[in-house]
Amino acid sequence: MTDSIRFPERFLWGAATSAYQVEGSPLADGAGASNWHRFAHTPGMTANGETGDVACDHYRRMPEDVALMRRLGLTAYRFSLAWGRVLPEGTGRVNAAGLGFYDRLVDQLLAAGIAPNATLFHWDLPAALEDRGGWLNRDIAEWFAAYADTVVRRLGDRVAMWATLNEPWVVTDGGYLHGTLAPGHRSPYETPIASHNLLRAHGLGLRAIRAAGGRQAGLVVNLEPKYAASDRPEDQAATRRAEAYMNRQYLDPVFLGGYPAELAEIYGEAWPEFPAADFDVIRAPLDFLGVNYYTRAVHRHEPRAWPVGAGRVRQPQHTYTSMDWEVYPQAFTDVLLWVKARYGDCPLHITENGSAFYDPPTVEGEELADPLRVGYLRDHLRALHRAIAAGADVRGYFAWSPLDNFEWSAGYAKRFGLIHVDFATQRRTFKASARLYAEVIRTHGAALGA
């Protein structure tokens, strides 16, 4: 039994989605196609050929979904904007109808007592910009800054928190190195260039947000703490490379002004030199860092495991989610304290945390039992509280996700939602995990001690 759990005053209790995963109607009302729209419509790129054409139909059902969030008791909601819905060509002409959707969403949230938390880029790049080189074109940092200016000038009077990018590591590892995500490239030469331009866009985006009157601006990264499988020097070295590649690649430049030395070792001749002046842009101070945490990795030396030479060691004593991710809550505590120790006292928000387990496509009744997700949520919130008690300055928690949604190349089979979505009928049904989360919010954490 865990006693005396109480989260800090004014702690934000939220949930998070992204545009392409929930909105549907990707070309409606003058929106421009995204690279994800193209990728999902390319045969063989997604499970069962599934796309985000309908997803949760949130674009048309937004008021209903906000009402569900209010029923959950959320005090904040993190969403992303579809860049191509706002700027169909990625630059220049503003699509009034597209920007108007987000204007209405913000007003609907505020009327429900829910603070809007907006992310400018969550993987869906306008296809028109992909045609101009996408993240391989240095000009994209300026394009992104102009997009940020457009959005913040319209919504910044009501949106208090802005994130520039969501999980740039996933964009480059999946999209440029392994080809499993949009835009589907496979090139070790392209990957570090895309990574660097994402960080430059983040830096110029921060400037644009602040110049347009944005009050809090930050970056969202996914962190996966790395543990060596043994004390053998080769396992230790492999683990350090894996940590540098996934966790330090995007944080060291932002907080320390340079890339980890291991990246040159990992990429070899594909690692370029970058202008020193770029790091003055990238290192702009953050108002907050968003941390997305799902799992950890235990690594051993494995020369054939490209690109870092680190293989993952399965832990048979622990539960794994349907994404094949180990459930290990202590790593959540560990990684938050690691961020504090390495990078100092930047305020943190847990911008994503959640689990995919099997749920039936159709639900009978008013609530779906999901005991594995309930256990994951309870144990990770307890782990979060331990990190706060140990000194981590965490100011909010956003569960991924309020709704089952389109899980990128995995399609619709991987369900992360606190609320079940029957994708054939769009019927929404609360799960037991939603009821637990609502009680945690209502008691400000005390329900976790029961």
Beta bridge partners of 348: 289, 394
Cα angle: 48, vertex 50, 56; to 5 degrees: 140
Query: 6 is written with which tokens?
Result: 């109480």
167 catalytically annotated? yes
Extract long-range pairs of 420-428: CB within 8 Å, 24+ residues apart: 420/359, 420/363, 420/368, 421/56, 422/361, 422/362, 422/363, 423/54, 423/361, 424/361, 424/362, 426/56, 426/57, 426/61, 427/363, 428/64, 428/65, 428/68, 428/403
273 catalytically annotated? no
In the set 167, 190, 243, 262, the catalytic residue is: 167
In the set 23, 50, 224, 352, the catalytic residue is: 352
User: C-alpha dihedral over 120, 61, 410, 89, to 10 degrees?
Assistant: -40
Residue pointed to by tokens 């409606």:
28
Query: Terminus-to-terminus CA distance in the chain, angstroms?
Result: 7
Chain-centroid distance, C-alpha 137 = 23
Q: DSSP string covering 219-260, please?
A: EEEE---EEESSS-HHHHHHHHHHHIIIIITTTHHHHHSS--
Query: Could you give the residue numbers annotated as active site?
Result: 167, 352
